[in-house]
Amino acid sequence: MTFSDIFKSSFLESVKEFSAVDTLVGLAFALVIGLFIFLIYKKSFSGVMYSTGFAMSLVGLSLVTTLVIMAVTSNVVLSLGMVGALSIVRFRAAIKEPMEIVFLFWALAVGIVIGAGMIPLAVIGSAIIGVILLLFANRKGRRTPYILIVNCADEKAEESAMNLIEKSVDKFVVKSKTVSGNGIEVTAEIRVKDDETNFVNRVNDVAGVSGATLVTYNGDYLS
């Protein structure tokens, strides 16, 4: 086999020519939609710690997936090899919020659809998904839930503190109550009026109350 025969192999001849213009157009749309996904993630994020690295990875994921699908659709043999190569890839990054899975699949879907040449579908679908996610994200933030922890010396102090809390908040639900030799500890989920938290100071001033702690509740809840 001569050196020229290597470049005339059936494998290289089976690879179709790709269009540089189509590649640039596809990657440009993947970049624009990836940045759109990045903005929607930033606007709708409601977790504890925002990760810039994860947000930027959504843009890169859209571009890389587009490039891979373009290569796969250009050659059948290459597509089979790509499936085998990708099957050994393992992702070790921890998902902190369930919504992050939605954004990962969204970025992957955009790359697949654009790589397959269905750019209008990617644009229209991404616009609809983005609007829906923003609407649901804005609905959730109407009233911030809080967890209030009150330490009381006896039942009389507990009753006085609970009456004051009930008059000062919109919603008041006891989550747990611990009785020990040191006193009574009551944990309750509350919804405050107009984000007013000064009532905690008055609860702490109740006779027999040794402490009152108010923290933001970031868990899921039903209105």
Average pLDDT of 162-170?
85
Spatial contact of 165 and 191, defined as CB atoms under 8 Å apart: no
* Domain residue ranges in the chain: 3-140, 145-216
Average pLDDT of 169-176?
84
pTM of the model: 0.59
Handedness of CA 95, 100, 105, 110 (dihedral sign): negative
DSSP string, 78-105: HHHHHHHHHTT--------SHHHHHHHH
- Kindly report, residue by residue over 113-160, the tens digit of the pLDDT: 998 889 999 999 999 999 998 888 766 555 677 888 999 988 888 888
Spatial contact of 30 and 13, defined as CB atoms under 8 Å apart: no
pLDDT at 201: 87
pLDDT at 78: 60
Percent of the chain whose pLDDT exceeds 90:
18
pLDDT at 6: 46
Cβ atoms < 10 Å from Cβ of 66: 27
Distance of CA 1 to the CA centre of its chain: 56
Residue 14 CB contacts under 8 Å (≥ 6 apart), including other chains: 75, 76, 77
3-state helix, strand, coil in the chain (%, to 5): 55, 15, 25
**Does 28 score more than 90 pLDDT?**
yes
71 token code pair: 């290569």
Average pLDDT of 81-108?
70
Query: What whole-number distance in Å separates Cα of residue 130 and Cα of residue 107?
Result: 12
The dihedrals phi and psi of 28, each to the nearest 5 degrees, come to: -65, -45
- Kindly report, residue by residue over 202-212, the tens digit of the pLDDT: 888 888 888 88
At the topology level, CATH places domain 145-216 in Alpha-Beta Plaits (3.30.70)
Query: What whole-number distance in Å separates Cα of residue 41 and Cα of residue 62?
Result: 14
**Does 76 score more than 60 pLDDT?**
no
Under the banding of pLDDT at 50, 70 and 90, the label for residue 51 is: confident
pLDDT at 85: 54
The dihedrals phi and psi of 213, each to the nearest 5 degrees, come to: -120, 130
Return mean pLDDT, the chain.
78
Average pLDDT of 41-70?
83
H or E stretch at 163: helix 155-168
**Does 111 score more than 60 pLDDT?**
yes
Q: Which amino acid would we find at residue 19? A: S
Under the banding of pLDDT at 50, 70 and 90, the label for residue 19 is: confident
pLDDT at 7: 45
pLDDT at 202: 87
